[in-house]
Structure 1
Amino acid sequence: MRYDEFLARVRERGEYDSQDEAAEVTEGVLSVLAQRISPGEVDDLGSQLPGPLGQTLAAAKPQQAESFGIEEFFRRVAEKTGARPRTAEWDASAVLTAVADAVSGGELNQVISQLPSGYAVLFGKADLAG
């Protein structure tokens, strides 16, 4: 998937006014996700995402993954994007379902397996991909 296609999906799912807004939200969500998964997984995920998305992940990559729940995830996304936590939930879902479309099922399972069960639904999955 190309970068512009990825942003178009995020824009459509999130009902954003522009590609720029979709790009801003995408950057915020991915930078928080990068803090939550292992550094090696950040690299693997980034290698399958289009254009500058891998660079966004790499720039946010911590020394080691932090452990925080879904509410904290939304709070951090809201802080990054300037949105309310409820809006951040919508934003996260718009971006992460596009991530699920853009990467292999194996890679998606690797990411989801590092997160508590409540995260899978943000990727549009009930659980690990089949």
Structure 2
Amino acid sequence: MQHDEFIGHVQDRARLASRGEAERAARATLQTLAERLPSGLARNLAGQLPIEIGDQLETAATGEAAGAVRFGEQEFFDRVAERAGTDRAGGGRLARAVCAVTCEAVDQPLRERTHDVLPEDMRELFPVGAP
């Protein structure tokens, strides 16, 4: 999947008015995801995403808080919302859209590994058997 296609899918799924909003949603979600995942797994995800998107995840995965923070779904949505400039419901909508597109962009074994390391309440974001 190419960068423009990834962002277009995020824009469509999250019902966003502009590509800029979709870029912001992707950045907010992937930065937050990188905080939650082990850094090696986040780097593996980055490697299967379009370069512009993967670079954001890679940078966040090597940051100070990468993989060091434990939180569940509601905190995830709150962090995405704060970074994207929206409320919790908006953060949830954006995070779900970005994670769904990410699932489409990476292979099944990587989706499964991501699913397995997330807490139970976040596993819906990376379902096993997703397309």
Asked if these proteins are the same fold (TM beyond 0.5), I'd say yes
**Which 4+ residue blocks in structure 1 deviate beyond 4 angstroms?**
none
Give 1:70 deviation, angstroms: 0.9
CA contact (8 A) 2:60 2:66 kept: no
Match of 2:55 in 1: 55
Match of 1:105 in 2: 108
Q: Alignment identity in percent?
A: 32
**Superposed counterparts of 1:1-130, under 5 Å:** 1-61=1-61, 62=65, 64-123=67-126, 125=127, 128-129=128-129
1:69–1:11 CA distance, 2 compared to 1 (3 A):
same
Find the residue that maps to 1:67 and give its secondary structure: coil
Please list the CA deviations of residues 38-66 of structure 1 after superposition, one character each: whole Å capped at 9, or x if unmatched: 01001100000012111111221235431
Unaligned runs of at least 5 residues, structure 1: none
Unaligned runs of at least 5 residues, structure 2: none
For the residues of structure 2 that align with 1:65 and 1:100, how far apart are their CA atoms?
A: 23
Query: What value does the CA root-mean-square deviation take over the aligned residues?
Result: 1.4
The one-letter code sitting in structure 2 at the alignment partner of 1:93 is R
Residues matched between the structures, number: 127
